[in-house]
Amino acid sequence: MKSDNGWKNILEVENLATRFRTQDGLVHAVNGVSFTMREGEKLGVVGESGCGKSVTMLSLMRLIPQPPGEIYGGKAMFWGRDLLTMSNDEIRSVRGSQIAMIFQDPMTSLNPVLTIQHQLTEPMLQHLGMTKKQARKRAIEMLEKVGIPEVEKRLKDYPHQFSGGMRQRVMIAMALSCNPQVLIADEPTTALDVTIQAQIIDLVKRLAAEFGMAIIWITHDLGVVAGMAERVLVMYAGFIVEEALVEELYATPRHPYTKALLRSLPRVDGTRNEKLESIKGLPPDLIALPKGCPFAARCAMVKDICWVENPQLINYAPSHKFACWVNVDTGDLL
């Protein structure tokens, strides 16, 4: 599975589609998402809340509750094996050992009635076949790597005895304990203050380099992506609307939504008189998706065709794709 530039693709997702059955109707959360990922790559996934970022990754991990959720289309090839068609035993052997995930809120992700030692050693006992003594030693090493002080004392503590930042460090240690090849980080710094956010981001970057992991970093913050990722997927209403290298995305955004997101971000090189712009309106109802472009109702450059047909991703450059009918520089149809 070689990519065009000769790198090995560790993950190839094609037309992934996930929906949820609710009392009000079918919620179309992920609508034909396709992307590839190379070994050791750092990929950012950005967009507003509810755009499908987390559901996309939870679908890959087969962590969508079924019912009400249903992965009803697509493939997700991990080293040539489809994650979506694996048996329950097969996917359990992949989760944690080969693909690990850090969640938004470590307080709800950690079991409040089990010690940190129990929760850290369990995946190593299950996936690596370690003895309890070996797993405890490895747990101590991992907690030291993520900067937990007085590790041997803290192993017997419970999650409520740790601060938010320390709980997130425990989650990172747990995620990395089995040397996964892909780490999915689902907005892991959202509940933390800015100083701790920066520490966690630096920690994950350092450990990813040390372990040679690929990272998928889910966030609504383009500022975080700038310092973390090499390539970015921009999602809106369950679709990928733009995909580019970080530098290209910031320099030449080709989708009106991406451009609007960037205008809402404070800039170091901006002037005092520059006002941050909000994106007017609300994302579309995922139960009743519009026929055309899902961003049309909020777009300042909307054309007649935008209401009728949803554009497909097209190539702007070898590593830059976008889905729009309009040239964002001129406002004219392409």
- pLDDT attached to residue 7: 52
Q: What confidence tens digit (pLDDT) does each residue in 8-43 have?
A: 889 999 999 999 999 989 999 999 999 999 998 999
Tens of pLDDT along 278-331?
788 888 889 988 889 999 999 989 999 999 999 999 999 889 999 999 999 888
Contact indicator for 237, 180 with CB cutoff of 8 Å: no
pLDDT tens column, 74-126: 999 998 899 999 999 999 889 888 998 888 776 677 888 999 999 889 888 88
pLDDT in the model for residue 273 = 60
Q: Which pLDDT does position 326 carry in this prediction?
A: 93
Averaged pLDDT, 181-191: 84
Whether pLDDT at 174 is above 90: no
Please tell me the predicted confidence (pLDDT) of residue 243.
96
Of 273 and 2, the structure prediction assigns the larger pLDDT to 273
Lowest mean pLDDT among 48-62, 141-155, 187-201, 269-283: 269-283
- Residue range 257-276: average pLDDT? 72
Q: Which residues pair with 311 in a beta bridge?
A: none
Give 189-194 contacts, CB < 8 A, sequence gap 24+.
189/219, 189/224, 190/104, 190/105, 190/219, 191/104, 191/105, 191/106, 191/164, 192/164, 192/165, 192/168
Chain mean pLDDT for the chain:
87
Q: pLDDT of 34-66, one tens digit each? A: 999 999 899 999 998 888 999 999 999 999 988
Percent of the residues in the chain that have a pLDDT greater than 90, as a whole number: 44
- Bond before 68 cis per omega within 30 degrees: yes
CA 292 from centre of chain: 26
Average pLDDT over residues 133-150: 88
- Distance in angstroms (rounded) separating the CA atoms of residues 267 and 274: 9
Q: What is the rounded CA–CA span in Å between residue 181 and residue 248?
A: 27
Whether 5 shows a pLDDT value over 50: the answer reads no
CB environment 32-48: b (16+ within 10 A), e (fewer): bbbbbbbbbbbbbbbbe
pLDDT of residue 293: 94
Residue 269 confidence (pLDDT): 56
| pLDDT in the model for residue 18 | 95
Which pLDDT value is given to residue 3? 46
Beta bridge partners of 16: 33
